[in-house]
Amino acid sequence: MRHLLVGFIFMSALVESVCGLTPADLSRVKFEQHPGRQLSRDLVFRDENDQPFRLGDHFGKRPTVLVLGYYRCPMLCCLIKDGLIKALQELPLNVGRDFQVIDVSIDPGEKSPAATSKKSQYLRSYGRAGASEGWHSLVGDEDSIRELGDEVGYRFVYDPQAQQYAHPSGVIVLTPDGKISRYVFGVNFKAQDLQDALAAAKDGRSSSVISQLFLLCYHYNPITGKYSTSILAILRLGSLGFLAAAGWWIISMSRTGKGIS
């Protein structure tokens, strides 16, 4: 039992030294669901043309797919956008005509040129005419980003050691007037799920989901250019193994009548 405890403590220390973020830091990274919440109409960002973008000016006409991440992200942000675009391509609905996409960077250091480059990339991948007017790529200051994150329950932390953000994956679907209708978690989105979410949002309906499964965007090796197994995932597996071993030990002791001292 003592060896198991030592091993678990060592694993936790290893995570902290490699990641720069402690398990406690990473535990704050999550999507808190706030269905029905009205987003602040007065929040102002800057769009891909470096023009002021007030959220309220773009509410009222059609549902919104809200995506938070950051443009220089080397990991899940790319997977989220690829998964989202693939699902959007399968929809009979069109960006611009039936709904809009608002993509917001959580990195206050990113400026409009980064948003311009990414928007062009996304539109080329999406490949449907008329989408440009309905796809908005935004940057903002720290206060606006934090307030938006708080309103939608998007919790993220910055690792100064890796100079990356740990954040959850998924998108938020808003009603035409800017209320949270539904959360869609993950990186691979089903077209039917998005279509159902957009239909519910169009009707002004809000609902929560049972599961809050998501992936952490973290642990890309910029030197090798490769992705590695998430240390956090290893820690979680190690924790489960520790708990299983501890449970087995307690049951074994109780069966042999030795008790636990």
**Domain locations in the chain as residue ranges:** 1-27+230-261, 32-221
Report, as an integer, the average pLDDT of 176-189. 93
pLDDT of 80 > 80? The answer is yes
Q: Identify the CATH homologous superfamily for domain 32-221.
A: Glutaredoxin (3.40.30.10)
- DSSP letter assigned to residue 71: T
Give residue 5's pLDDT: 45
Nearest to 187 by CA among 212, 165, 170, 168: 170
What tens digit of pLDDT does each residue of 246-256 get? 666 666 666 66
Give residue 83's pLDDT: 93
What tens digit of pLDDT does each residue of 193-237 get? 999 999 999 999 987 654 455 566 655 444 344 444 444 454 455
**Chain mean pLDDT for the chain:** 82
pLDDT band for position 119 (50/70/90)? very high
What tens digit of pLDDT does each residue of 130-164 get? 999 999 999 999 999 999 999 999 999 999 888 89
Which span out of 13-17, 89-93, 224-228 was modeled with the highest average pLDDT? 89-93
Report the first-to-last Cα separation within the chain, whole angstroms: 11
178/146 Cα distance (integer angstroms): 17
In Å, what is the CA distance from 49 to each residue of 57, 115, 121, 137, 184? 16, 8, 15, 9, 29
177/195 Cα distance (integer angstroms): 18
Q: Determine the residue type at 31.
A: F
10/16 Cα distance (integer angstroms): 10
Percent of the chain that is helix, strand, coil (3-state, to 5): 40, 20, 40
What tens digit of pLDDT does each residue of 25-46 get? 888 888 899 999 999 999 999 9
Give residue 27's pLDDT: 82
Note whether 171 and 65 are within 8 A (CB): yes
3-state SS assignment for residue 154 = strand
- DSSP letter assigned to residue 134: G
